[in-house]
Amino acid sequence: LNKRESIRPASGNDEAAVAELALANNMFGIDELEGFTAIFRAPVGGELQDHQWWVSDGIDARAVAAAYVAPEPFADRLWNLYFLAVAPAAHGRGTGTRMIEFVERQLQSAGESKARVLIVETSSTEQYAGARGFYRARGFDEEARIRDFYGPGDDKIVFWKALHA
Ligand SMILES: CC(C)(COP(=O)(O)OP(=O)(O)OC[C@H]1O[C@@H](n2cnc3c(N)ncnc32)[C@H](O)[C@@H]1OP(=O)(O)O)[C@@H](O)C(=O)NCCC(=O)NCCS
């Protein structure tokens, strides 16, 4: 199996490993786990149409990366990559690139009638400088900024990418 083939839909059994990816990357604190549970369980349980959680397995079959993508409500065929994280020990080895390229291919193969644009929202803080560089390098345009969205001095930056030429 090549690395691409190890990407699979998440199951309920992946919840702890995926939460750990977020915690290990300081994306949220332990007090915010309940919010994470809500965005993980309903889509993985198939309760939300088109919502997809993907995981990439490491050597011990524990998720080493995870992504969550869903269509944005009130938009026209625009999808939002709500979550992307790679285990800190595996950063910088192409895992995040393989994950986002996989998600893009999934959406592209669904066709333009289903998916036109992929956006991803991230923070303006220093902690996310690497993530911002990552999205730019993957061909996303920095499209919009909402001041103080996540907190005073912590803007939301929206990255945008067309899925079809
Ligand atoms: C952002 C993240 C998903 C990238 O995954 P990854 O597997 O480390 O990334 P890859 O190895 O595929 O790619 C590395 C690329 O990321 C970018 N990057 C990573 N760290 C960077 C940094 N500190 N500064 C600038 N660019 C950086 C570079 O563009 C690099 O590209 P290169 O291969 O041309 O050098 C991962 O670092 C992560 O999980 N970060 C913490 C969680 C997070 O911020 N998620 C996104 C929130 S919206």
Residue of the CA atom closest to atom 17 of ligand 1? 134
CA of 57 to the centre of ligand 1 (A): 18
Residue of the CA atom closest to atom 19 of ligand 1? 130
pLDDT at 100: 98
Residue of the CA atom closest to atom 5 of ligand 1? 96
Q: Name the token pair of 120.
A: 């991803």
Q: Is the CB of 84 under 6 A from ligand 1?
A: yes
Q: Name the token pair of 100.
A: 């986002």
pLDDT at 6: 87
CA of 97 to the centre of ligand 1 (A): 8
pLDDT tens across 72-101, in order? 999 999 999 999 999 999 999 999 999 999
Q: What whole-number distance in Å separates Cα of residue 139 and Cα of residue 136?
A: 5
Assess contact for 53 and 92: CB atoms under 8 A.
no
- Between 122 and 60, the more confident residue is 122
CA of 93, closest atom in ligand 1: 11
Q: What whole-number distance in Å separates Cα of residue 152 and Cα of residue 32?
A: 19
Answer whether 0.75 is exceeded by the pTM. yes
The alpha carbon of 130 is separated from its chain's Cα centroid by a whole number of angstroms, namely: 14
Q: For residue 123, what is the DSSP state?
A: E
Predicted confidence band at 1 (pLDDT cuts at 50, 70, 90)?
very low
CA of 136, closest atom in ligand 1: 29
Assess contact for 103 and 118: CB atoms under 8 A.
yes
What angle (nearest 5°) sits at the alpha carbon of residue 159, between those of residues 157 and 163?
165
Q: For residue 164, what is the DSSP state?
A: -
pLDDT at 4: 45
